[in-house]
Structure 1
Amino acid sequence: MDKRKHKLFEAANGKNYLLPFVLVTTLFFLWGFAHSILDVLNKHFQESMNISKAESALVQAVVYGGYFLMAIPAGRIIRRFGYRSGVLTGLSLYGIGALLFIPGGMLLSFPFFLFSLFVIGCGLTCLETAANPYVTVLGSAEGAERRINLSQSFNGLGWIFGPLVGGLFLFSGEGEGDISTPYAIIGIVVILVAIIFSRIKLPEIETEEDSCAEQTSMEGSSVDSHASAQTSLWQHRNFVWGMVALFFYVAAQTGINSFFINYVTENASISNSEASLLLSFGGMGLFMLGRIGGSWVMSRIKAETVLLACAVGAAAAMCILLTGAGMLGVAAFFLCYLCESIMFPTIFALALRGLGRHTKQASSYLIMCIVGGAVAPLLMGVTADVLSMSVAFAIPLACFIVIAAYAFRLHVVGKHNA
């Protein structure tokens, strides 16, 4: 077992990347916090600014819209200047956007808050574009899915603290809540982390395919042209369908998180503060445990098989929510959080499998697919306003069916190639 753990962070050339893995993994906590506090902001803005569910969904739309607009520029920064530059750019934008909440708290302007969140979203795009593919190459190729799930478990820790801190400042006591303080604190922390990363050097990893590509280019332009045609990024079907699956996963996750508090307060007679605690320790706690456990499970069971089982479980949970169940609905949420915990890192790693020199470019395209998080909350908000909050969960149900289809395809292809 010790030997397997050692090889998890050891590349084929014998280099051990445990230290850079630990450093980059700390970033996963920061963007987990940034995303999960949005789920509290959603409900807070509905009440403090008297807006509809569809309007409050703009909170998620601007953050995830930033992913769509910034992903390609972020990918170019990383390809041109390296992973470290992507991390520093992301941390800087994240910190600036968070600190903008200080004047925002005085202006109390919803459009200004949306602009601040958009800046944060652009920063998170750079961080994810750099960190997600980076941890997949910090060691053996067969350990990629395990490493990214391990890193994403710290992302899950951030998801726990987001609703906890947000509920503490926004739903405690009387009044409209303090929206500036939590963002001021996180902004200062992020800037300090940026300073730390500016003083350390992260190794740039060259894959075997990178080396092969360089050798090919020296053998002649005709051979190089032939190799490029054979290794076009868009010829990798796992990657192409992985983009689709990732879009629908982020759509499902964001939609569920956005309206968790609305659902349980309307169907289970739970207060806002109690709902934020349930989301933090219940939903996000299981989400984190699922990612930790997922890394262990995938050392024994193929990642695509685990993904298929989890997609089916999450779809079943959505079917329960469609009935408008009370406390049973809360239990269904918990099942869903446990099942969806491994989905993002697993889909991401499976989509990048075997891409080699295309990894950085592919990562930017995959990060663009996070724009799904801008679409589902809006659709669910409109559905909830027109029909009911329960019916709105048909949207994430459809998303999980798509993910199950992707996992099933990989499972069948894997058995056929075995």
Structure 2
Amino acid sequence: MTEQTIPTNEGASSMQDNTIVTTPTEVVPKKYLISFILITLCFPLWGFANDITNPLVKAFSKVLQMSAAEGTWVQVAFYGGYGAMAIPAAIFIKKFSYKAGLMLGLGFYALGALLFLPAAGAQSFTAFLLAFFVMTCGLSFLETSANPYVLSMGPAATATQRLNLAQAFNPVGSLLGMFVATQFIIQKLNPATDAERRELAAQGSQSALDQLSLITANDLAVIRDPYLAIGAVVILMLVIIAIKKMPRTEEKSTNLDIKGTFKRLTANQNYREGVVAQMFYVGAQIMCWTFIIHYGTEVFMKLGMTEQAAEAKSQMFNIYAMVIFCLSRFVCTFLLKYINPGKLLMVLAAGGMCFTGATIFLEGIMGMYALVGISACMSLMFPTIYGIALTGTGDDAKLGAAGLIMAIVGGTFLPMAQATIIDMNVVFNSFSATKASFILPLLCFVVIAIYGKRSQQHLPN
């Protein structure tokens, strides 16, 4: 809880008339508690989808014999769905309700997950990309609905703290997604290396091609099964939300005034810069969590591990990073009671810059530790940028939220740029291209630190 001072009119004397009393401001008022919990349960669902998917860049590259840049089309399709549907989602929510947006989002999410069944049967990378895209069209509706819905469930004074509380459960889904990716995908893939698979393809004989096709079919089935399971869970959540009577915290809009809303939002410097900062934050997060597999595989293979063992150990370090991210989220949510959100954002972005620099220049396991440490600094960023950017936007927040969700497209072109650097193998004659590629997350944290500094003028101390 935070505290709010209000004047009281009780008492006869003038001294009593001017007495200041302190009353608590609830983070989540009791009348919203059950609905808040139910919506908060949706946050781990997209955390799971995000973080079971990140390791698949490496997995698809290996299974289908593609380069890192080609495998990164997984992220382009995945985060492209956010960009494509964010504005339509906001218009839909503004016309109808947050609950309607949640239900439609869960429906698309389940459909995309179930599309993994025909995609695996066809052994088609394009079909998998379509499944990812449909699924994240749903995630776009889900996040565009859930985030502002949580912000609206109580006093404006505690909105950012309330969103950070709900977002603190997002890493629970992320941890589960990473665990499933490690135990039920990466470790269950056929142990044949990239080189061995390419050799089978190069042989060209029918027996070699049949062997490769069998390996590929089994590996794609391994990738498919967790998505079918999460699809069933999402359908269950859809049924629960459809049955539950949810509070309406917004007025139904008959006049959308989209043009006027966009004009006001684009004229709002704090919002405009927040969208840019969010785009760079998401890019940094996806790069650090996707390419930790590439970074760690390079480190651990130099230490004598096999390729598959190095990939599995790297994914375990990704899980450690997410545990740190999760714990840091709760700590930072507590600190927001005492520290200006913009100031804390700036400090953590500076910490991210330091850890990323260490990732680039430290050798061996120390560089890996530094890469894991970045997650402690990232934990606060998404919900805090989101809350800061929407400060003072009023009813425009419904479409404003769409811009901040659309900013997730930073998870498409920035990882693709990093993958292109990684495919160079070495730069400057002998320096690891994988290590050098982390200059991109470093630049992202610079942008975020600048926004944290500039945003402080828009927030109470």
Equivalent in the alignment of 1:263: 295
Equivalent in the alignment of 2:421: 383
Equivalent in the alignment of 2:247: 203
Equivalent in the alignment of 1:369: 407
Instruction: Kindly indicate whether the alpha-carbon contact (under 8 Å) linking 1:60 and 1:374 is maintained by their aligned counterparts in 2.
Output: yes
SS at match of 2:361: coil
Whole-Å separation in 2 of the counterparts to 1:349 and 1:46: 37
Residue segments in structure 2 that go unaligned for 5+ positions in a row: 4-22, 191-214, 428-432
Whole-Å separation in 2 of the counterparts to 1:155 and 1:278: 19
Instruction: Kindly indicate whether the alpha-carbon contact (under 8 Å) linking 1:246 and 1:348 is maintained by their aligned counterparts in 2.
Output: yes
Whole-Å separation in 2 of the counterparts to 1:311 and 1:300: 18
Higher relative contact order (CA 8 A, sep 6+): 1
Whole-Å separation in 2 of the counterparts to 1:70 and 1:261: 29
Q: Displacement, 1:2?
A: 9.6
Alignment of 1:37-48 (within 5 A): 37-48=52-63
2:246 partner amino acid: L
Alignment of 1:105-116 (within 5 A): 105-116=120-131
Whole-Å separation in 2 of the counterparts to 1:197 and 1:366: 24
Equivalent in the alignment of 1:184: 228
1:128 to 137, 143, 149: 143
Whole-Å separation in 2 of the counterparts to 1:101 and 1:70: 20
1:241 partner amino acid: E
SS at match of 1:169: helix
1:332 aligns with 2:393: no
RMSD between aligned residues = 2.3
Equivalent in the alignment of 2:238: 194
More displaced stretch, 98-107 vs 347-356: 98-107
Q: Displacement, 1:171?
A: 2.0
SS at match of 1:390: helix
More displaced stretch, 267-276 vs 115-124: 267-276
Alignment of 1:6-405 (within 5 A): 7-10=26-29, 16-173=31-188, 175=190, 177=219, 178-206=222-250, 232-269=264-301, 271-280=310-319, 282-323=320-361, 325-386=363-424, 387=427, 388-405=433-450
Runs of 4+ in 1 over 6 A off after TM superposition: 2-6
2:381 partner amino acid: M
SS at match of 1:51: coil
Instruction: Kindly indicate whether the alpha-carbon contact (under 8 Å) linking 1:94 and 1:120 is maintained by their aligned counterparts in 2.
Output: yes
Q: Displacement, 1:235?
A: 2.8
Equivalent in the alignment of 1:221: none
Instruction: Kindly indicate whether the alpha-carbon contact (under 8 Å) linking 1:32 and 1:158 is maintained by their aligned counterparts in 2.
Output: yes
Task: Encode CA deviations 1:64-109: one digit per residue, 9 max, x unaligned.
Answer: 1111111111011101110011101110111011111122222221
More displaced stretch, 270-279 vs 385-394: 270-279
Aligned residues: 395
Task: Encode CA deviations 1:250-303: one digit per residue, 9 max, x unaligned.
Answer: 1111111111111011024461112222212x1111111111111111011111
Whole-Å separation in 2 of the counterparts to 1:193 and 1:355: 31
Q: Displacement, 1:324?
A: 5.5
Q: Displacement, 1:414?
A: 5.3
Whole-Å separation in 1 of the counterparts to 2:367 and 2:155: 41
Whole-Å separation in 2 of the counterparts to 1:203 and 1:102: 36
Whole-Å separation in 2 of the counterparts to 1:360 and 1:132: 10
Whole-Å separation in 1 of the counterparts to 2:152 and 2:369: 37
Shift in CA distance, 323/9, structure 1 to aligned 2, threshold 3 Å: same
Task: Encode CA deviations 1:385-405: one digit per residue, 9 max, x unaligned.
Answer: 124111111111111100000
Whole-Å separation in 1 of the counterparts to 2:189 and 2:412: 31
Whole-Å separation in 2 of the counterparts to 1:325 and 1:127: 41
Whole-Å separation in 1 of the counterparts to 2:289 and 2:115: 24
Whole-Å separation in 1 of the counterparts to 2:298 and 2:362: 9
Equivalent in the alignment of 2:193: none
Residue segments in structure 1 that go unaligned for 5+ positions in a row: 218-224
Whole-Å separation in 1 of the counterparts to 2:412 and 2:116: 21
Q: Displacement, 1:167?
A: 1.4
Equivalent in the alignment of 2:198: none
Equivalent in the alignment of 2:454: 409
Task: Encode CA deviations 1:133-185: one digit per residue, 9 max, x unaligned.
Answer: 11111111111111111111111111111111011122225626411210110
Whole-Å separation in 2 of the counterparts to 1:147 and 1:268: 41
1:160 partner amino acid: L
Q: Displacement, 1:232?
A: 2.2
Q: Displacement, 1:243?
A: 0.6
SS at match of 1:299: coil
Task: Encode CA deviations 1:8-36: one digit per residue, 9 max, x unaligned.
Answer: 123xxxx7322211110000000000000
Instruction: Kindly indicate whether the alpha-carbon contact (under 8 Å) linking 2:279 and 2:407 is maintained by their aligned counterparts in 1.
Output: yes
Instruction: Kindly indicate whether the alpha-carbon contact (under 8 Å) linking 2:89 and 2:101 is maintained by their aligned counterparts in 1.
Output: yes
Whole-Å separation in 2 of the counterparts to 1:404 and 1:174: 40
Instruction: Kindly indicate whether the alpha-carbon contact (under 8 Å) linking 1:247 and 1:371 is maintained by their aligned counterparts in 2.
Output: yes
SS at match of 2:246: coil
Q: Displacement, 1:350?
A: 0.4
2:136 partner amino acid: G
Equivalent in the alignment of 2:10: none
SS at match of 1:16: helix
Identity %: 36
Q: Displacement, 1:234?
A: 2.5
Whole-Å separation in 1 of the counterparts to 2:372 and 2:271: 30
